């Protein structure tokens, strides 16, 4: 634990004390500073205070900075496909089958465990620097922060939709054109494991555009405006174009009438939702530069598209 002493300048007079401290310490998130204040980890002129108290000017703040280990997660030597890295961020192309971070039933063998081995300094950050997630069986690009400041900035970019995330999805049904799904998403009242379009859910917006059409399937580009759990999977199912092989929202395998045996075999054998985070664009949290990366479709999706092209023609 480290102690940091700061003096609040007169230019911040009248502001809330927690807000003033946050402005003086941009490397730390407002929520983290507020938690330290509420837990007694901060003193103003030697006394405890409430976060909403106003600045009078010239206050001396003594702040105990807690350096936390990330939930005692273990570092594990798991291969990572690092697309880009510098002192502030790491961009990963996550493979299918890799859980993002430890949780019930998956305490080891996750992306977070791999990151802690790749860069042990990530142990000082919340969630090992992870700022967003991909489902276990969704492949593609993710960004990870390497500092408190980068993590705070990336979280803010995600919350304000500065980060652009483009996915490739292969869905059931022949789409005529693209569109937008603007429907709130929350817990499915009938099944707490699932998400669903529900009136009391959080705002969720998915834009989709047709890439290629087949007889009974469509390859689409999905661009997230928000980032709700299972958002693309839920929204595509909601408009009756669920992802191929989605075990939670796709239902039973749909075989076209007069489907060739090759097509049936391919659809039966495809064992994960047909979804890949193909493109990631963001503002670098330190330099302010706009940066973008693309990850090619993994081989299983390429093979699926090839089969649809050959055995499910328009």
**pLDDT tens over the chain, length 314 residues:** 567 788 888 888 898 888 888 777 766 667 777 777 777 778 888 888 887 889 898 888 887 765 554 557 999 999 999 999 999 999 999 999 999 988 777 789 999 999 999 999 999 898 999 999 999 999 999 999 999 899 999 998 998 889 999 999 999 999 999 999 999 999 998 887 899 999 999 999 999 999 999 999 999 999 999 889 999 999 999 999 999 999 999 989 999 998 999 999 999 999 999 999 999 999 999 999 999 999 999 999 999 999 999 999 98
Q: Which residues are catalytic?
A: 135
The b/e string for 9-18 (b: 16+ C-beta within 10 A; e otherwise) is eeebeeebbb
pLDDT at res. 103: 78
Q: Structure tokens of 78?
A: 């798991």
Integer angstrom CA distances of residue 162 from 4, 61, 288, 291, 295: 32, 33, 12, 12, 20
Dihedral class, residue 175 (left if φ above 0, else alpha if ψ from -120 to 50, else beta): beta
What residue ranges define each of the domains in the chain, with the CATH number in brackets?
A: 2-65 (3.10.290.10), 82-145 (3.30.70), 164-311 (3.30.2350.10)
Global pTM reads: 0.79
């Amino acid at each position: 634990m480290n102690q940091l002493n700061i003096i609040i300048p007169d230019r911040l007079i009248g502001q809330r004390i927690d807000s003033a401290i946050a402005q003086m310490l941009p490397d730390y998130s407002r929520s983290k500073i507020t938690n330290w204040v509420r837990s007694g980890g901060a003193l103003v002129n030697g006394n405890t205070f409430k976060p909403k108290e106003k600045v009078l000017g010239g206050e001396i703040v003594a702040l105990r900075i807690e350096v936390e280990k990330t939930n005692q997660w273990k570092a594990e030597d798991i291969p990572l496909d690092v697309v880009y890295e510098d002192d502030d961020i790491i961009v990963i192309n996550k493979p299918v089958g890799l859980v993002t971070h430890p949780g019930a039933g998956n305490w080891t063998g996750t992306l977070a465990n791999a990151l802690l081995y790749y860069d042990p300094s990530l142990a000082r950050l919340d969630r090992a620097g992870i700022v967003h997630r991909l489902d276990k069986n969704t492949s593609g690009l993710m960004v990870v922060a390497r500092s408190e400041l980068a993590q705070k900035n990336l979280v803010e970019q995600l919350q304000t939709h500065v980060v652009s995330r483009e996915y490739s999805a292969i869905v059931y049904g022949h789409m005529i054109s693209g569109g937008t799904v603007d429907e709130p998403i929350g817990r499915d009242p009938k099944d707490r494991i699932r998400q669903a379009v529900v009136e009391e859910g959080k705002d969720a917006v998915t834009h989709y555009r047709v890439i290629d059409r087949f007889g009974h399937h469509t390859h689409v580009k999905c661009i997230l405006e928000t980032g709700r759990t299972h958002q693309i999977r839920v929204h595509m199912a909601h408009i009756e174009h669920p992802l191929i092989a989605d075990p939670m929202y796709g239902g039973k395998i749909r075989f076209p009438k007069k489907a060739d045996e090759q097509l049936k075999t391919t659809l039966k054998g495809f064992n994960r939702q047909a979804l890949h985070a193909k493109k990631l664009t963001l503002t670098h949290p330190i330099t302010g530069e706009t940066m973008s990366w693309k990850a090619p479709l993994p081989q299983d999706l390429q093979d699926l598209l090839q089969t649809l092209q050959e055995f499910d023609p328009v």
